Amino acid sequence: MTVHAEDHAVRMPAYIDHSHLVVRDLPMVSSWYQTIMGLTPLEKTASGETLGVAGRPLLTLTTQGNAAIAPQNAPGLFHTAFLVPDRTELGRWLAHIAHNNVPLQGASDHLVSEAIYLGDPEGNGIEVYRDRPRDEWNFIEDGMVKMATLPLDLQALYDEAPKDKWDGMAEGTAIGHIHLQVSDIPQANAFFRDVLGLNLMATYPGASFFASGKYHHHVGANIWNSRGAPKRQANMTGLSDYTVHFNDPAKLQNAVARLDELEIPVTRNGDTVSLIDPWGIGLKLVG
């Protein structure tokens, strides 16, 4: 498995390492993630399968007979963000989807990164991005990082990309962050910063971005579609749960202690602490 650079998203004290979606048509959605996103099946179970890159599990897809399509304003997934190793790999993937006529939902230069947005066949949001080197990031006096949403020149990215055969996401691809729809931003700040111990790294109107290790964000939370929405129901399609992996055992202990202090119910299974977040989304904390 790839050894990432010390300042990579997954080398921080805490990071996102897994996203689990409930889908209606498992074979079709799985095939799409393999063909279009270049993920490889790693494990099959009775209810679904786990896909990844170079042996690294990233995405679990499951299905259930009573799955109800989640309303667009329900708390849950805004997008799962796949971080590729560099600009060349972002361009190679762009060329691949262009040749397959895959529609895009947007493309942005965020100053810290370059990102392309699309949706899977059941409407689950996806971002594919590359980080700019950290010495090109600008931090503000309060410790936050300067981000923006500027147009990304897709034609230039495509023109620069090698046009060799694309055979899947490059080794080293990881989940860089997960972006959630939540009901309330102060509640999100209280949960991700004050309970899980992540730092507030940036704010937009209606959104907050949290990270550890001064990364630009491991978790995004917005109310753009979901302001004041009721909790997500357990049988809804979309994001069933996601995993925060702690490289720093002390930070995991602090988070669990805060959960206990606030009497938020958790289930312990070996090294995994499972809970339901304030919006009805499953969350696993692992060390």
Per-residue pLDDT tens digits for 113-143: 999 999 999 999 999 999 999 999 999 988 9
Residue ranges in 112-225 assigned as alpha helix (H): 154-160, 185-188
- Count CB atoms within 10 A of the CB of residue 148: 11
pLDDT at 1 over 70: no
Residue 133 confidence (pLDDT):
97
- Please report, rounded to a whole number, the percentage of residues in the chain having pLDDT higher than 90: 93
Alpha-carbon gap, residue 276 to 94, rounded angstroms: 35
How far apart are the C-alpha atoms of 46 and 230, rounded to whole Å? 31
pLDDT in tens, 218-258: 999 999 999 999 999 988 999 999 999 999 999 999 999 99
- HSE (CB half, 13 Å, CA atoms) of 157? 25
What pLDDT is recorded for position 140? 94
Q: How far apart are CA 213 and CA 57, in angstroms?
A: 23
Q: Is the pLDDT of residue 92 over 80?
A: yes
- Which H or E run includes 130? strand 125-131
